[in-house]
Structure 1
Amino acid sequence: MGRPPRHDTDRLLDAAAGLAATGGPASVTVTAVARAAGAPSGSIYHRFPSRSALLAELWLRTVERFQEGFLDALDGDSPAAAARHVVAWCRANPDQAAVLLYGPVDFGEPTWPEDARDRLAKRNAQVDRALRALADRVGHPGAEGADRLVLATVDIPYSTVRRHLRAGNAIPGYAEDLVADCADRLFA
């Protein structure tokens, strides 16, 4: 039986998220991640055959972690609960939230391996279905209802956290109430 790896994938991706949070996607290079994680470059290349694969996995791991709770919140009948989740998750995971404030294209999505692009498409389709289903349940079916829900549960919460995270400030404790109030008003 071999020895366990000294530099596991999550540790390497955590280092990459920290780099992206402070310097943006361009700062996430194999050399920088190796330095930040205290790992040899070979450990990075052992897990990620290219920088593109590293950036893909950073984005996908981050968005999948976020979407776990977001999908749960969308499964209920309250747009406000989903809006609250965005703010609470971002407060609890500031480096990963900073990654999400960019988009997959900022992390080189057009150059990702095909399986990574497929994984992203499947995750996005799952969220789209959940958003449309919630819009139907709260009496706002169709494209306009889905757009209203995206505004309430994505756009407004991300705008709220972006301002604080980009300034290097903590997200205030009342931010969940603000976004929930906005969501409630959009669906009153």
Structure 2
Amino acid sequence: MARPPRFDTGKLLDAAVALAAAGGPAAVTMSAVAQATGAPSGSVYHRFAGRTALLAEVWLRTVERFQQGYLAVLDGEADPRRAARAASRHVVAWCRENPDEATLLLYGAADFGRADWSGEHAARADLGNGRVFARLGGLAVSLGAGDEQARDRVALALVDLPLTVVRRHLRAGTPLPPYAEDLTEECTEALLGSMTAP
């Protein structure tokens, strides 16, 4: 039986996430990841063709993990209002459970070199974003969003609002208050309150 690699891709990416959370995307270099894990530089280069590929994988793994949970919550409720409230809460709960990854998501793909990503990495990003936007669009219709302003209201309630609740605490390095999920859900419900399903 082959021995598992001592420095697997997951551990290298975990180190890169910690570096990005502490010092921003600029802190994620091949040598910094090698030093943080005690891996030889060759091990890092064996798994990532260069810094651009490393940055792409750090961003994509983080976003895909978040999106997987977010979509599962949206799909787990048949009632659109309950789905909206649950999704809003999920953003805050996920950030609470994954503070380094959440801090990373305060940046954007552009900060992680999106312009220089390979076609494969860019396609992965587009596919994931497309799934989320499609699901949010379907939910907006179910909630009665018949025009652009109403669709913007849904995006504000389910994406922008929960991120705003956590952003200040993440940037300050302070823990989220215990009521953050409840506050987010209440605000989401208030924003959606005037909408009526078709």
TM-score bracket, shorter-length normalisation: over 0.9
1:142 Cα shift? 4.3
- 1:16 has 2:16 as partner: yes
| Structure-1 residue corresponding to 2:154 | 149
Q: TM-score, normalised by structure 1?
A: 0.96
Contact 1:62 1:96 in 2 (8 A): yes
Higher Cα Rg, which structure: 2
Q: 1:141 to 1:68 in 2, by over 3 A?
A: farther
In 1, Cα distance between the equivalents of 2:128 and 2:148? Answer: 19
| Structure-2 residue corresponding to 1:84 | 89
The total of aligned residue pairs comes to 188
In 1, Cα distance between the equivalents of 2:154 and 2:146? Answer: 10
Q: 1:57 to 1:142 in 2, by over 3 A?
A: farther
| Structure-2 residue corresponding to 1:110 | 115
Q: Percent identity?
A: 56
1:186 Cα shift? 0.8
Structure 2, unpaired ranges of 5+: 194-198
Q: TM-score, normalised by structure 2?
A: 0.91
- 1:30 has 2:30 as partner: yes
| Structure-2 residue corresponding to 1:64 | 64
Structure 1, unpaired ranges of 5+: none
Higher mean alpha-carbon deviation, 110-119 vs 74-83, is at 74-83
Contact 1:56 1:112 in 2 (8 A): yes
In 2, Cα distance between the equivalents of 1:36 and 1:138? Answer: 47
1:157 Cα shift? 0.9
Higher mean alpha-carbon deviation, 46-55 vs 65-74, is at 65-74
Runs of 4+, deviation exceeding 6 Å: none
Contact 1:132 1:142 in 2 (8 A): no
In 1, Cα distance between the equivalents of 2:97 and 2:38? Answer: 25
CA RMSD of aligned residues (A): 1.1
Q: Which amino acid aligns with 1:116?
A: H
